[in-house]
């Protein structure tokens, strides 16, 4: 019997039959390649035609319609750093979904844009986008500004940031719970709530020791303290996954900002959508119960919240103001609360982690890539300057089991009288903060550039000027290069000496000279958090005070060493130029035990 070779070839060897490669796929791939290559060549040619040196240099892109959006979302850090290298003029222009964005990182340009208070710029461009896309606030409330119908919203946000009440509540919580940060218990039911979300492995022997991962422990603990100070104890009892969900969202902020839907197959996007939905649902339930609690005729609670009397006055004020004056929905209240929670907990947790890592790694004989100038004396210096303001002691007892240590914190003194600790915190903000500010240009104007060859830069109507404080803080042209340059963490970088006036007469010369000796102070100078109009000096002070208090209290109470006898190594920061604070790459395994303390 003869077989038809053509039939067999068509049946068993055609792409349609085998399903390996469809016949149309090579054509589609070739068309995509041609379109991408043509777009890059065309945009590069147009960028080369820009001869006006007063305009920001334009970066060519590959994908039509999207512009630089994919690179900005997926490879944010390396993408922006490379463009800064190729365009040292202090700013450069990129395209995001067809709109021109001027990325500014030069201090004169930043000051010329951010400090402008006339009608040439619209200041709430980025904050409105963040509220809508990341926190799912309604466009009506998200777009409100302080000069129009949103006065009540902005005033509540600013009052929240400027007050000392939350800092005082958190300080008392540190004094009460930080001595018991680790329970040394092997079973989950006996552990503290913040331990249950991490892996804490106790070791047998004396003194009691546990092995854990440092950042998850810090993040879980500080999220519990912050959320309890804001929302009360019952919220965390009803939502124990809060720390994990906030961490999942923080890791995907650039993707959430783009507004991409959940089904797009991008890393971390789907899990971030799920975590945000869970957070907003839990906050919806909380605000319904809180509104009922604050009403003149409250009904019997049926949502799992029995007593909301420990809710902070700021959240109650926020609820009352937005519901009555701005006619906001419960969903808007949940979105606003989520924004406050994520910003505070993420900044506090990550800055505390990075500061602890650099201080602890200074005790290792091996230098680290990010802190080669650190010396073993740094930890000793911190432990010498903080005890007057972070006092840890062990109460005396006649019983076999000793009570937990006692901790007393003085938040203002830790900020004012501990220059090494504060300078280290400022240096962490400089190196790891990832916040942005943005202004939409409504009328063209010129700003100084600081470049002697191009004295001014013209910003045109319709452009969005996005200020990257991270790019400014790590600019080698400002902070230098080499072992003490922009990419290196130097604790003493922000310490200044100020001479104090003499308070004695000229009769006692030695006493006079001693009293007029320089006093060291740590100053913020040009380092700032950034973060558009929702940021405020009060928020800066809150994070600064609580982070310094936690680090000082932690070091006073606990001894930490690398797990499995390893050496300290500061982890690499996750690439990404947008977000709150840079996340660490990988885990930092440590062993933790109590520090030996003196009696009262």
Chain segment 388-401, per-residue pLDDT in tens: 999 998 888 766 67
**Is 166 a member of any domain?**
yes
Number of domains observed in the structure of the chain: 2
Q: Confirm whether 344 is domain-assigned.
A: yes
Strands (E), 136-258: 201-203, 209-213
Question: Does residue 270 sit within a domain?
Answer: yes
Q: Which domain holds residue 214?
A: 152-364+375-436+489-496+519-594
- The domain that holds 526 is classified in CATH as 1.10.630.10
pTM of the model: 0.85
- Report whether 549 contacts 538 (CB < 8 A): no
Residues in the chain: 600
Same domain, 186 and 269: yes
| 511 assigned to some structural domain | no
Do 87 and 123 fall within a single domain? yes
431 and 445 in a common domain: no
Q: Measured at the alpha carbon of residue 174, what is the angle toward residues 168 and 179, in degrees to the nearest 5?
A: 155
Q: Is 423 found in the same domain as 463?
A: no
What pLDDT digit, counting tens, does each position of 469-525 carry? Answer: 888 888 888 888 776 788 889 888 888 876 555 444 444 444 434 443 457 787 777
Q: Is residue 370 part of a domain?
A: no
Whole-angstrom distance, CA of residue 129 vs CA of residue 135: 9
Angstrom CA distances, 454 to 83, 103, 474, stand at 18, 17, 22
Q: Hey, which residues does 497 pair with through a beta bridge?
A: 520
Residues 6+ apart with CB under 8 A from 314: 156, 159, 160, 163, 165, 166, 230
| Residues 266 and 352 reside in one and the same domain | yes
Does 222 lie in the same domain as 211?
yes
Q: Are 303 and 330 members of one domain?
A: yes
Segments of the chain with pLDDT less than 50? 1-5, 7-18, 145-153, 162, 365-375, 502-517, 532-534
In a domain, 504, yes or no: no
479 assigned to some structural domain? no
197, 216 Cβ separation under 8 angstroms:
yes
For residues 425 and 444, membership in a common domain is answered with no
- The answer to whether residues 31 and 123 belong to one domain is yes
Place of tokens 């006649």: 398
Q: How far apart are the C-alpha atoms of 328 and 277, rounded to whole Å?
A: 19
Asked if residue 333 is part of any domain, the answer here is yes
Q: What is the pLDDT of residue 576?
A: 60
**How much is the pLDDT for 144?**
60
**Burial class (CB within 10 angstroms; exposed 0-12, middle 13-18, buried 19+) of 300:** exposed
Say whether both 96 and 191 belong to one domain.
no
Q: Which residues of 156-182 are buried (b: 16+ CB within 10 A; e: fewer)?
A: bbbbbbeeeebbebbbebbbebbbebb
One domain, residues 88 and 233 = no
Percent pLDDT > 70 in the chain is 81
Is the domain of 175 the same as that of 37? no
């Amino acid at each position: 019997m003869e077989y038809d070779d053509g039939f067999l070839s068509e049946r068993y060897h055609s792409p349609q039959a085998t399903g390996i490669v469809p016949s149309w796929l090579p054509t589609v791939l070739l068309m995509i390649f041609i379109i991408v290559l043509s777009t890059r060549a065309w945009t590069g040619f147009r960028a080369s035609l820009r001869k006006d040196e007063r305009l920001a240099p334009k970066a060519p892109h590959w994908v039509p319609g999207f512009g630089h959006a994919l690179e900005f979302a997926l490879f944010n850090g390396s993408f922006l750093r490379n463009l800064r290298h190729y365009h040292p003029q202090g700013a450069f222009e990129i395209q995001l979904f067809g709109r021109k964005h001027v990325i500014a990182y030069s201090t004169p340009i930043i000051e010329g844009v951010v400090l402008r208070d006339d009608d040439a710029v619209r200041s709430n461009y980025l904050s409105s986008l963040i509220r809508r896309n990341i926190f799912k606030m309604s466009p009506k409330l998200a777009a409100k500004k302080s000069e129009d119908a949103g006065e009540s919203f902005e005033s509540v946000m600013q009052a929240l940031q400027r007050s000392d009440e939350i800092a005082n509540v958190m300080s008392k919580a540190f004094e009460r719970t930080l001595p018991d940060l680790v329970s040394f218990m092997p079973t989950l039911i006996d552990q503290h709530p913040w331990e249950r979300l991490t892996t804490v492995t106790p070791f047998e022997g004396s003194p009691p020791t546990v092995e854990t991962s440092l950042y998850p422990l810090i993040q879980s603990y500080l999220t519990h303290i912050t959320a309890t100070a804001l929302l009360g104890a019952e919220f965390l009892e009803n939502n124990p996954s809060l720390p994990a969900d906030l961490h999942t969202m923080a890791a995907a902020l650039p993707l959430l900002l783009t507004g991409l839907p959940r089904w797009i197959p991008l890393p971390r996007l789907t899990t971030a959508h799920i975590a945000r939905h869970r957070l907003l649902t839990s906050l919806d339930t909380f605000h319904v119960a809180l509104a009922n609690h604050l009403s003149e005729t409250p009904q019997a609670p049926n949502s799992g919240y029995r007593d909301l009397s420990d809710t902070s006055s700021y959240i109650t004020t926020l609820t009352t103001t937005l519901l009555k004056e701005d006619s906001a929905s419960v969903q808007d209240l949940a979105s606003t609360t989520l924004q406050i929670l994520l910003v505070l907990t993420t900044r506090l947790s990550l800055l505390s982690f990075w500061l602890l890592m650099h201080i602890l790694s200074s005790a290792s004989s091996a230098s680290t890539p990010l802190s080669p100038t650190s010396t073993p004396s740094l930890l000793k210096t911190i432990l010498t300057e903080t005890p007057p303001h972070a006092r840890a002691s062990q109460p005396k007892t006649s019983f076999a089991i000793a009570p937990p240590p006692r901790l007393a914190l003085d938040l203002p003194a830790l900020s004012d009288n501990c220059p090494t600790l504060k300078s280290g915190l400022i240096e962490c903000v400089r190196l790891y903060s990832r916040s942005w500010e943005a202004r939409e240009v409504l009328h063209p104007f010129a700003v100084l550039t600081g470049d002697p060859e191009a004295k001014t830069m013209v910003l045109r109507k319709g452009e969005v000027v996005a200020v990257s404080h991270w790019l400014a803080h790590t600019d080698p042209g400002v902070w230098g290069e080499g072992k003490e340059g922009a990419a290196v963490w130097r604790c003493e970088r922000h310490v200044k000496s100020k001479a104090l006036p003499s308070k004695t007469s000229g009769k006692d010369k030695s006493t006079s000279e001693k009293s007029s000796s320089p006093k060291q102070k740590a100053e913020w100078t040009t380092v700032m958090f950034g973060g558009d109009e929702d940021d405020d000096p009060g928020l800066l002070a809150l994070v600064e005070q609580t982070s310094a208090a936690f680090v000082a209290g932690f070091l006073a109470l606990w001894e930490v060493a690398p797990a499995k006898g390893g050496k300290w190594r500061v982890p690499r920061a996750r690439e990404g130029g947008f977000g709150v604070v840079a996340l660490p790459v990988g885990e930092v395994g440590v062993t933790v035990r109590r520090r030996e303390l003196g009696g009262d």
